[in-house]
Amino acid sequence: MGAIVSNLYGNNLVIFRAGDEDNKGTDIIFYIYKKNELFINEEEDEEDISVEEMLRGGIKIMTIKQLERTILQKHRLLTQNIAEKTSGGEDIGYKLFSFLLLIKLAIKTLISYTYSRSLVELSQLVVGFEDEVAYNLAQYFLDELNYKVGFSDNILNKLEDKNQLTNYYKKLNRIFEDEKIKELSKENIDKVYALFKEKAK
């Protein structure tokens, strides 16, 4: 048996823990498209659901392990210059940018992965409600994957507050749009970071 540990977008896009409640290594992103075949009690947290029941009502997208491995590798390559240049201290832009870029990479990976599997409606849903999915995914990373450890209370308050995180995430996205940045390269990420630092002040 397992349980839904995070709702990324309503009951359509969820993270399912397919085993012991403390074993985060079994977490899987599921797209639930047959709600009538999957009973979910919205008022009860972590209700026991079997893997078979999840597969009857939805599609396994990817494991969290796959997603995290993919985005961490990209993140390290893209932010190497930024990591080496920081002067430290309570630099809000620097600390927020690292985490928000990680979530941005996760969203882009999720969109491309679902689209490549011809799950067009799901990829459209993630694109259309990106801010919502990004916030919920960020909370999962902070709470379940323990990403909150490296942040001061000041930064953590901004990341855990829905309005603040969404506002900063929109600022990040707006920079990508305004600068017409499509390719994720070190040079482009350096440029985005410099602009984001100014907007995050």
Of 116, 127, 178, 144, nearest to 28 by C-alpha is 144
Measured from the Cβ of residue 64, the count of other Cβ atoms closer than 10 Å reads 24
129: DSSP letter: T
pLDDT attached to residue 146: 92
What is the phi/psi pair of residue 48, to 5°?
Answer: -65, 125
Task: Name residue 7's beta-bridge partners.
Answer: 14
> Do 8 and 53 share a domain, yes or no?
yes
What is the predicted pLDDT for the residue at 193?
Answer: 94
Report the pLDDT value the prediction gives residue 47, as an integer from 0 to 100: 66
Is the same domain home to 75 and 28?
A: no
pLDDT of residue 159: 96
Do both 165 and 77 map to the same domain? yes
User: Helix, strand, coil % (nearest 5) of the chain?
Assistant: 60, 15, 25
Domain-ending residue, one of 28, 63, 98: 63
Question: What is the tally of structural domains in the chain?
Answer: 2
pLDDT value for 43: 46
Residues 113 and 128 in one domain: yes
> Tens digits of per-residue pLDDT, 112-159?
999 998 899 899 999 999 999 999 999 999 999 999 998 889 999 999
Given this model, what pLDDT does residue 88 score?
A: 59
* 80 and 51 co-located in one domain: no
On whether the CB atoms of residues 46 and 23 are closer than 8 A, the answer is no
Same domain, 74 and 145: yes
Boundary (domain end) residue, out of 63, 80, 97: 63
Q: pLDDT value at position 55?
A: 86
Q: Last residue of some domain: 20, 36, 63?
A: 63
Whole-number pLDDT of residue 39: 46
CA 23 to the chain's CA centroid: 19
Q: Are residues 8 and 37 in the same domain?
A: yes
Q: Are residues 111 and 152 in the same domain?
A: yes
166 and 188 share one domain: yes
Distances (CA, A) of 177 to 38, 135, 172, 183, 196: 39, 19, 9, 12, 13
Low-confidence ranges of the chain (pLDDT < 70): 35-47, 86-90
pLDDT, position 56 = 87
Residue 85 sits in the same domain as residue 167? yes
Looking at residue 13, what is its pLDDT? 94
Host domain of residue 33: 3-63
Residues 88 and 109 in one domain: yes
Amino acid identity, position 99: F
74 shares its domain with 167: yes
pTM comes to: 0.90
User: How far is residue 32's CA from residue 40's CA, in Å, rounded to a whole number?
Assistant: 11
- Two tokens at 145? 């994957």
